[in-house]
A and B are shown apart, each in its own frame.
Chain A
Amino acid sequence: MPRLTRVLLLALMALGTPSLAQDNLDDALFGGGDDLFGDSIVSEAEADPGFDPAAALLETDGVVIGGSFSVSAEIDLDLDAAEGADPFSSGVAELNTRLFLDARPTSDFAVFVKGDASYTTRSGVEFELREMFADLDIANRLFLRAGKQTINWGVGLYFSPANLINIESIDPEDPDAELAGPVAIKAQWPMGTNNLTGYVVMEDVESPIEIALGSRYEFLVGDVEVTTGGVIQLDGPWALMATATGAVEGVTLFAEGVVEGNSDKVFLTAGPAGLQTETRPGAVYASGTFGARASYSNEDDTFSVAGSAQYLFNGLGYADPGLLSANRAAVAELLAAGEITFRDLRERGKHNAAASLRFADVAGSDLTPSLFWIGNVSDGSGFATATLRYGGIDHVSPSVRYRYAYGAAGSEYSPFGPDHSLTFAVSVSGNFYGLEMTVGIWDGRLRGIEGQRVLVTAGAGGIGAQIAGTLAGMGAQVAVCDVSTDAIAAARSNRLLALEADVADERAVDQMFEALVERFGGLDALVNNAGIAGPTAPIEEITPEEWRRCLEVGLTGQFLCARRAVPLLKAAGGGSIVNMSSSAGRHGYPYRSPYSSAKFGVIGLTQSLAKELGPCNIRVNAILPGIVEGPRMDGVIRDRAEQLGLSVEEMTERYVERVSLRKMVSAGDVAATVAFLLSDAGQNLSGQSLGVDGNVETL
């Protein structure tokens, strides 16, 4: 038993006995005749020198899924209900699921997506994308976040005029809730305690002129954190902000100041025909807020309370919001017509304030009482709530809340005049986290090819050359063979190991492998690419020699190479064989019977070898290219066109019409699939016949 475990067990034994005296605890932990610990209580730490704890938190092996679920129900009791009226004025049931996906393939790159699905009895089903961004670390100095993201600039608790970029405002009754942010690129440059951050904001951008640019700098001045920043939209609003946060005698103080101009806020003014709207692009407004928060716990944590208060001067507010309350119907009409939005009516007075007091687990009862008040001082409206929540049941939170709203009808917080209500609510909620999809993450890079020793037959030209070049470019040691001396010379100039060999010639294949082993010392992958088109003719016109040659190159050649490669692959501890078949190996191909037969044979060879060699960690797959553009296909189409009495263009069109994607594929497409099969990404693929053909429907 590890020593630490023994210590822990002993400690738990001792601690689990309430009446155990401290002397006994001393003895239990430090010996007292029991020599559990040996001579020393010091051991060597089991440190793993290769473990990077900082990077470990930034990487995942798969995609992590998590989120939360809640179901809640509320019933409102109207304490001012008229006699005879139903006092249960309203109620709402709500289901909400938040899901996130988090993928971190490397410590410098991550992707995160989070969204909500909700259902309420009032609004029905709604979906909302909350965040979707990618993180990029550039040289551990500059950190980019691109996508839809929350961007908090403010420090205010209930009001935050400095929160210039987020598209949601604080809900004073739920001030800790995440605020939805815009689509933006954020570049952050930390400098000790300071941070310089730049933003390009692209929310609802339809033209470049709607892009907003922002910058923010955070720094410490003594014991106060100060931030300054600004944001400007070309030909749109601009704003400058500053915040400060510090603490005095255990009380945290915070303040914000904002100057803004060219605001897009729509104001309501009294006109000869009633209310009218206007914007004030030339005006400059100043707003500010300050507040404080503090908490207290007694020495033994049996009593704790947290309180906060904040004042807001809203420069964009109305000096006399009574104009709005006096014209309720007109305001409603303008809202309905879309001439103003609720955003234009928020914090409508110049003077606003809020405060709260929250007690935690009073006397250990799991009851959490809280008080909250918010008011528009300018129009004399506001509301206060007193809530009692019970937290003694895991995942279940019942509560009762009394709410009193005051102010004239039409005012900001009392649209229908003074009102008392009582709300009974219960919610069931829970988080789930850490479900990890076991699929690997593909970040656009194929790994595991670098250093592989690969032989590509017929690799000096055509598709083979494309395969060889692709693999060499990914760091593989590549040998190619071909019957074309010109192609061999070209391959040598490309620094590939180029060997002259006809794969249908057993002796030539033997010599090729001897040369390969001499140079590479072994083999990790074989790409059986060699093949010939064979004759295009009715069966009765095909000679046995043409038949044999087509099958010897296209099928027997793969057998001859495989029989030499397999011992090398086994010696390497495993490897991969990719056999080139064709769409003609899946569909009968009139006038090309030798070719089609050879390619059907390749499928059989592949599936047989996959079963035979799988236990040796050797994967065998076939690729079935379709109509591959290039000189060889040009020749096939030309011959076929001639045979059917069609033009080359008509014949080409006929070929493409048989492809679901209505296009030919390229040699690069085939090479990419070979690379995929040879890489770590293909490590669990074997015995497969992969069509790289745009889905050839028939031949």
Chain B
Amino acid sequence: MNVYSIVRTLSIVSVLSGLGTVFAQDFVEMLRTIDQRSNFAADFAATFTMERIDPEAGEDNRTVQVFRRDEDDAFLLLIQKPETQLGQGYLRIEDGLWFYDPESRQFTFTSLSEAFEGSDARNDDFGRSSLADDYQIVETREGTLGRFEVWIIELEALNDEVPYPFKTLSITKEGALLLKSEDYSLTKRLLRTSFFPSYARVGDNLIADQRIFVDALVENKRTSFTISNISTTDLPDSVFTKAYVERVNR
């Protein structure tokens, strides 16, 4: 998994933080509420620790420091581990996305409106959640997930900008917690299943601080994220600048 996948995960899973008491029957409003609450009103910082088990590529452990300012569509990801990639950074400011390579001390610019150098990371992977706008509800039904009673909501994309054309969400009836997301290709082939078994409350937000992704295409390939050092204190504007990225690097 490259760092774009981490960004994507960060963004996609941010939809999970939308919570609140909603009328279960009003599913569109439920998605809209999730969208609205998924983006932080305040600045956000956290440390993401990723553990990937891939039978083909082996194990991969990474630690990424994340800074987000959703109101400005800004984020900064700084790789802390592995040490061979220490300091590599991804800075987004508005519509610009820069990759910083500490080895050459050079920024590489790309645009968010295009696929990023052929990777499967796409525009929406880096932006705000917009489930209610990007998807339409195809079907809803009641079900159980473990010991939880959930709404199972099947979604179909309204545009081709989203990474997954079809999704099936499992959202708790109580508290509207998204516990599981099944993501499908255009041919309705299951690509991956995401699990969110734990949330942390930070102010008015809830963050899935434990996230597990099971690859449906590669057997036994899975990735788990742990989120720690969560902070919603105001970040200085200078964090979202090239100058900051250069200064933190060695």
Q: A363's closest neighbor in chain B, by CB?
A: B56
B117 and A54: CB pair below 8 A?
no
CB of A30 closer than 8 Å to a CB of B? yes
A22 and B226: CB pair below 8 A?
no
User: Looking at the complex, which one of B101, B202, B235, B239 makes contact with A176 (CB distance below 8 Å)?
Assistant: B101
| Cβ–Cβ < 8 Å partners of B243 in chain A | 143, 188, 190, 195
CB of B27 closer than 8 Å to a CB of A? no
Tell me whether A41 and B83 are in contact in the complex, defined as CB-CB below 8 angstroms, given that A49-B233, A294-B117 are known contacts.
no
CB of A433 closer than 8 Å to a CB of B? yes
Per-residue CB contact flags for chain B residues 215-250 toward chain A (1 = under 8 Å, else 0) read 101111010101001111101111101111011101
B86 and A42: CB pair below 8 A?
no
User: Looking at the complex, which one of B57, B83, B197 makes contact with A11 (CB distance below 8 Å)?
Assistant: B197
Nearest CB in chain A: distance from B32 CB, A: 21
User: Looking at the complex, which one of B83, B94, B195, B246 makes contact with A193 (CB distance below 8 Å)?
Assistant: B94
Q: B217's closest neighbor in chain A, by CB?
A: A300
Q: B179's closest neighbor in chain A, by CB?
A: A30
| Cβ–Cβ < 8 Å partners of A33 in chain B | 147
CB of A44 closer than 8 Å to a CB of B? yes
CB of B110 closer than 8 Å to a CB of A? yes
B104 and A53: CB pair below 8 A?
no
B250 and A100: CB pair below 8 A?
yes
| Alpha-carbon separation in the docked complex, A594 to B118 (Å) | 87
A30 and B147: CB pair below 8 A?
yes
| Cβ–Cβ < 8 Å partners of A35 in chain B | 147
| Cβ–Cβ < 8 Å partners of B78 in chain A | 57
Per-residue CB contact flags for chain B residues 67-83 toward chain A (1 = under 8 Å, else 0) read 10000000000100001
A223 and B117: CB pair below 8 A?
no
| Alpha-carbon separation in the docked complex, A224 to B220 (Å) | 41
Q: A245's closest neighbor in chain B, by CB?
A: B109
| Alpha-carbon separation in the docked complex, A66 to B249 (Å) | 12
B198 and A51: CB pair below 8 A?
no
Q: A100's closest neighbor in chain B, by CB?
A: B250
A41 and B198: CB pair below 8 A?
yes
A11 and B111: CB pair below 8 A?
no
A4 and B198: CB pair below 8 A?
yes
Q: Interface size on B (CB < 8 Å)? A: 81
User: Looking at the complex, which one of A188, A195, A250 makes contact with B114 (CB distance below 8 Å)?
Assistant: A250
| Alpha-carbon separation in the docked complex, A33 to B145 (Å) | 11
CB of B13 closer than 8 Å to a CB of A? no
Nearest CB in chain A: distance from B202 CB, A: 4
Tell me whether A294 and B118 are in contact in the complex, defined as CB-CB below 8 angstroms, given that A31-B146, A300-B217 are known contacts.
yes
B118 and A190: CB pair below 8 A?
no
| Alpha-carbon separation in the docked complex, A112 to B109 (Å) | 26
| Cβ–Cβ < 8 Å partners of B175 in chain A | 42
| Cβ–Cβ < 8 Å partners of B179 in chain A | 30
| Cβ–Cβ < 8 Å partners of A47 in chain B | 202, 230-232
Grouping DSSP codes into helix (H, G, I), strand (E, B) and loop, the A interface class, with mixed when no group exceeds half, is: mixed
From 80 to 99 in chain B, residues with beta carbon under 8 angstroms from any chain A beta carbon are 83-84, 86, 93-96
Tell me whether A176 and B248 are in contact in the complex, defined as CB-CB below 8 angstroms, given that A29-B212, A247-B111 are known contacts.
no
CB of B157 closer than 8 Å to a CB of A? no
A295 and B198: CB pair below 8 A?
no
| Cβ–Cβ < 8 Å partners of A135 in chain B | 247
Nearest CB in chain B: distance from A638 CB, A: 58
B210 and A64: CB pair below 8 A?
no
CB of B131 closer than 8 Å to a CB of A? no
CB of A27 closer than 8 Å to a CB of B? yes
| Alpha-carbon separation in the docked complex, A3 to B220 (Å) | 25
User: Looking at the complex, which one of B106, B116, B210, B220 makes contact with A8 (CB distance below 8 Å)?
Assistant: B210
User: Looking at the complex, which one of B199, B215, B224, B247 makes contact with A42 (CB distance below 8 Å)?
Assistant: B199
B201 and A300: CB pair below 8 A?
no
| Alpha-carbon separation in the docked complex, A293 to B224 (Å) | 32
User: Looking at the complex, which one of A29, A140, A299, A361 makes contact with B197 (CB distance below 8 Å)?
Assistant: A29
| Cβ–Cβ < 8 Å partners of A12 in chain B | 224
CB of A393 closer than 8 Å to a CB of B? no
Extra contacts besides A58-B247, A143-B238 (16): CB < 8 Å: A15-B53, A15-B214, A22-B214, A27-B146, A41-B177, A41-B197, A42-B199, A44-B201, A45-B200, A47-B231, A54-B239, A66-B250, A135-B247, A195-B243, A249-B115, A306-B117
Enumerate chain B interface residues (CB-CB to A < 8 A).
Answer: 45, 53, 56-57, 65, 67, 78, 83-84, 86, 93-96, 101, 103-120, 145-148, 175, 177, 179-180, 193, 195, 197-202, 206-207, 209-210, 212, 214-215, 217-220, 222, 224, 226, 229-233, 235-239, 241-244, 246-248, 250
- Which 10 residue pairs of A and B lie closest in terms of their CB atoms, listed nearest first? A30-B146, A31-B147, A223-B111, A190-B241, A31-B146, A45-B200, A53-B45, A225-B109, A143-B243, A247-B114
